[in-house]
A and B are shown apart, each in its own frame.
Chain A
Amino acid sequence: MLKINQLSASVEDKTILKGLNLEVKPGEVHAIMGPNGAGKSTLGYVLSGRDGYEVEGGSAELDGSDLLELEPEERARKGLFLAFQYPVEIPGVSNMEFMKAAVDAALEARGEEALSSAEFLKRAKQACKQVQLPLEFLKRGVNEGFSGGEKKRNEIMQMLLLEPKLAILDESDSGLDIDALKVVADGVNSQRDGQRSFIVVTHYQRLLDYIEPDYVHVLSDGKIVKSGDASLAKELEAQGYAWLQGYEDKNGAEEPVA
């Protein structure tokens, strides 16, 4: 499904990704862990096409099409979804209007018929309930005045409605209490159908107690330096990241599970 080969990318002339390789097959869940500043968020931004993230080399293909050549919206229509670490607030644009436009675009790209307003509303309400957000959030401006946890749940709600092929969750667990964490994890697990793939980017092992990964990768200094199965996450949790490359753990990676 996703093939990343020797991907290098920079932000403001600083090289962040330095030859990253990753292959994700249909139905797989990959966790990417690593210290702050390793390039975890950059990977999501580069794949989704954020302005200012310059690709310097390598390739990234989704189902055979070259992602890096496409506009952000075209990547989304190919089935790529990024759950943001810091979702943007957009007052004046309602969640409903936003999601309807996004779902319309996704359906059109898949060659499916557009939903009637009534059918869309029904699905939106369902998704809203699933992530335990009050229904009135649909009418509010996109993320306007939402708490950190509500924003994360809103991201998951969007994922549920868009039904992407590949979802990248960028630290969807940060700043969440245990109940919210379960909501996020349930959202992901409910979408695991043997075909849909996930890349779960996280700093801590905690989320992986609820979303069980097939593979765990350690990203450090722009490269994947170690890969393993779920047990690698536990190892990292116990030992931190310092042992990998003599990385000085300044960022509290060894903080115990809440």
Chain B
Amino acid sequence: MSQWFESAIVRAEQVNDWLSPVRAEALQTLKRASWPTRKTEAWKYLSLRRLEKSEFAQQQESAQITPEIIEGLDSLDLTFVDGQLVDLPADLPAGLSIVSLQNATDSVKQWAGEIIGDIKPERHLFGLINDTLAQHGVIIDVAEGVSVERPIRISYMSSEGSEAHTRVLVRVASNASVTVIEQAQNKHNSLHTSVAEYAIHEQAELTHYGLMMGGGAAMHVAGMHFRLAQQATLNSHLVGFGSELNRLDVDVQHRGEQADANINAVYLLRDAEVFDLHSTIEHEVPHCTTDENVRGIVADRSKAVFNGRIHIHRDAQKTLAELNNKNLLLSREAQINTKPELEIYADDVKCAHGATVAEIDKKALYYLQSRGISREQALVMLNFGFINALVDEMPHSALAEWLRPILRNRFASMDVQ
């Protein structure tokens, strides 16, 4: 049993605010839940042992950490440091409202209270923990028909020894569009759970980035959960690397016909990094599409876990769904555990899934070398090209430009065998 988990339950009993009904329900479920072990399917390849005995400071002065500057990205910035919301943008464009969880007005509480915790599936243990403990968060609301041009950037940052639980709720009303960037930059020994829930209404469009870029001893368990109404569109770009316990659960629910979800994910791991991506796409109604492309490179002793499930319910006829996971293994000690799953109960659908684990294409390597490019540089170019194909698809070029050299440097430092 986990000491940390026991202490979390004790602490959860003491939280009291307008979300108490949600919290109480989650707590009931939590009390019946058991702490994951190697035998727990959802945690089979990711060890929580380090967390089990960890103790963190609960209340502390917010450290002075500021998010990285992304040149050329004109964003509305929201910053969480050690779970506290330290920065809320002023001068919001018309039709966009952002309030902290604690300062929610009665009318916000009314609609938000109904969907908070509801988009996120109940099975996520850390989602339940977040339900009970997250006292800081933001509620973002984009009014009907409004297109918010400036991307909203949410930064998650932690200082040494901190534990934080943050919550994000986003409603994109019908015919509205917005971009939300979730960027985790936890670098120190710390624990962070973050849950973000997105309700994307009829014909609305969400462009989403989930950048799980931690460091060393930072532990981050994140949930990003999306519910799509009729003709809603989700374009999500996920990136994961940098720490030894980095977990992301993504859920997409197609609730209205002709909804469209596109997910690109990349991970590039070195040293002893571990990134675990679980995604579940629920096709509940007909005529929806999903296109999920996941690419990863693992080097040194690092480990990647990808579990991608597409569940096509009985009524979801005419579904088009594709799931693809490609991996490059750069070292004999690196590990990839990939499990793409298609579960189909409708009979008139078009679905495909696949996973590959490969080493560098020798013909491509020789071709580059035959042009005078050194083997080392050629390997970096090829590795980078494999990932870059997905970075190229990011619609915000400032973000892509910022990311490319970071990725390139990671490749350059990887030991290729």
- Chain A residues proximal to chain B, CB less than 8 Å: 48-51, 71-73, 75-77, 82, 84, 87-88, 90-93, 97-98, 101-102, 105-106, 109, 141-142, 158, 162
**Chain B interface size, under 10 / 10 to 19 / 20 to 34 / 35 or more:** 20 to 34
**In the complex the two chains form, what is the Cα distance from A87 to B381 in whole Å?**
17
Do B381 and A101 touch (CB < 8 A)?
Answer: yes
Is there an interface contact between B375 and A71, defined as CB atoms closer than 8 Å? yes
Q: Which of B369, B373, B386 contacts A92 (CB 8 A)?
A: B386
Most buried by B among A50, A72, A87, A101: A72
A141 lies within 8 A of B389 (CB): yes
A93-B369 contact in complex given A51-B362, A73-B374, A101-B377, C-beta closer than 8 Å = no
Asked, given contacts A73-B374, A101-B377, A105-B373, whether A90 binds B367 with beta carbons under 8 Å apart, the answer is yes
Most chain B C-beta atoms within 10 Å of own C-beta, residue among A48, A84, A91, A101? A101
What is the distance, in angstroms, from B191's C-beta to the closest C-beta of chain A?
35
**CB-nearest residue of chain B to A109:** B372
Q: Which residue of the partner chain, among A90, A106, A109, contacts B382 with CB atoms under 8 Å?
A: A90
B375 touches A73 (CB 8 A): yes
B371 in complex: contacting residue of A71, A92, A162, CB < 8 Å:
A162
| Docked pose: A97 CA to B404 CA in angstroms | 13
Provided the pairs A50-B366, A90-B364 are in contact, do residues A102 and B382 lie with their beta carbons within 8 angstroms? no
Q: Which of B372, B384, B386, B388 has the most CB of A within 10 A?
A: B372
Please name the residue on chain B nearest to A84 by beta carbon: B367
Asked if residues B369 and A72 are in contact (CB atoms below 8 Å), the reply is yes
* Complex partner residue of A73 from B373, B387, B388, B389, CB under 8 angstroms: B373
Tell me if B110 counts as interface (CB < 8 A to partner A): no
Partner of A93, one of B362, B363, B366, B385: B385
Interface residue? B370 (CB, 8 A): yes
Is B333 engaged at the interface, CB distance under 8 Å to the other chain?
no
Contact B372 A87 (CB under 8 A): no
Judge whether B366 and A72 touch: CB under 8 Å: yes
Q: 4 closest Cβ contacts across the A-B interface?
A: A92-B385, A76-B372, A93-B385, A92-B389
A92-B384, A92-B389 given; A87·B373 CB < 8 A = no
B119: min CB distance to chain A, Å: 34
- Decide yes or no: A77 and B375 within 8 Å by CB, A51-B366, A88-B363 being known contacts: no
Listed by A's residue number, 26 A-B pairs whose Cβ atoms lie within 8 Å are: A49-B369, A49-B370, A50-B370, A51-B366, A71-B369, A72-B369, A73-B369, A73-B374, A76-B369, A76-B370, A76-B372, A77-B372, A82-B370, A88-B363, A90-B361, A90-B382, A92-B384, A97-B381, A98-B368, A98-B371, A98-B381, A102-B372, A105-B374, A141-B385, A142-B367, A162-B371
Q: B118 within 8 Å of A by Cβ? A: no
Closest to A92 in B: B385
Q: Closest approach, in angstroms, between the C-beta of B52 and any C-beta of chain A?
A: 40
Question: In whole angstroms, how far apart are the Cα atoms of A102 and B375 in the complex?
Answer: 12
Q: Once bound together, how far apart are the Cα atoms of A234 and B366, in whole Å? A: 35
How many contacting A-B pairs (Cβ < 8 A)?
81
Q: Which residue of B370, B374, B389 contacts A91 across the interface (Cβ within 8 Å)?
A: B389
Residue of A nearest to B362 (CB): A51
Residues in A whose Cβ lies below 8 Å from that of B368? 90, 98, 101-102
CB–CB B381/A93 < 8 A: yes
Q: Provide the residues of chain A in CB contact with B366, threshold 8 Å.
A: 49-51, 72
Quick one: which of B359-417 are within 8 Å of A by CB? 361-364, 366-375, 377-378, 381-382, 384-389, 392
Known contacts A88-B363, A88-B364, A92-B392: A72-B385 contact under CB 8 Å: no
B25 to chain A, nearest CB (A): 46
**Are A106 and B370 CB-contacts (below 8 A) given A91-B385, A92-B384, A93-B382?**
no
Closest Cβ neighbor of A139 among chain B residues: B392
Closest-by-CB residue of B relative to A86 is B363
Chain A proximity of B294: nearest CB distance (Å): 15
Select one of B372, B378, B389, B392 contacting A162, CB under 8 A: B372
User: Which residues of A lie under 8 Å from residue B381 when comparing CB positions?
Assistant: 93, 97-98, 101
A92 touches B387 (CB 8 A): yes
Contacts of A98 in B (CB 8 A): 368, 371, 373, 381
Q: Name which of B362, B385, B388 has the most chain A CB atoms within 10 A of its CB.
A: B385
User: In whole angstroms, what is the CA distance A87 to B364 when docked?
Assistant: 9
Q: Please indicate the chain A residues that have their CB under 8 angstroms from the CB of B371 in the complex.
A: 73, 76, 98, 101-102, 105, 158, 162
Shortest CB–CB separation between residue A238 and chain B, in angstroms? 35
With both chains docked as a complex, state the minimum distance between the C-beta of A47 and any C-beta of chain B, in angstroms.
10
Nearest-CB distance from A18 to chain B (Å)? 24
Contact A72 B382 (CB under 8 A): no
B265: min CB distance to chain A, Å: 15
When distances are taken between beta carbons in the complex, the residues of chain A under 8 Å from B387 are 92
Complex contacts, B386 vs chain A, CB 8 Å: 92
Cα–Cα, bound, A109→B374 (Å): 12
Measured between beta carbons, the chain A residues less than 8 angstroms from B363 are: 88
Contacts of A158 in B (CB 8 A): 371
Among B363, B364, B368, B387, the one with the most A-chain Cβ atoms within 10 Å of its Cβ is B368
Q: Determine the distance from Cα of A49 to Cα of B365 in the docked complex, in whole angstroms.
A: 12
Given contacts A90-B364, A141-B385, 18 further A-B contacts (CB under 8 A): A51-B366, A73-B374, A90-B368, A90-B382, A92-B385, A92-B386, A92-B387, A92-B392, A93-B384, A93-B385, A98-B368, A98-B373, A101-B371, A101-B377, A102-B372, A109-B372, A158-B371, A162-B371
Tell me the complex Cα distance, A142–B388, Å: 13
Which residue from chain A places its CB closest to the CB of B376 in the assembled complex? A73
Q: Counting chain A CB atoms within 10 Å of each CB, which of B366, B370, B381, B384 scores highest?
A: B370
Chain B neighbourhood of A48, CB < 8 A: 370
Contacts of B389 in A (CB 8 A): 91-92, 141
Find out whether the CB atom of A102 lies under 8 angstroms from the CB atom of B384: no
User: What residues on A are CB-neighbors of B374 within 8 Å?
Assistant: 73, 105
Chain A residues with CB under 8 Å of B392's CB are: 92
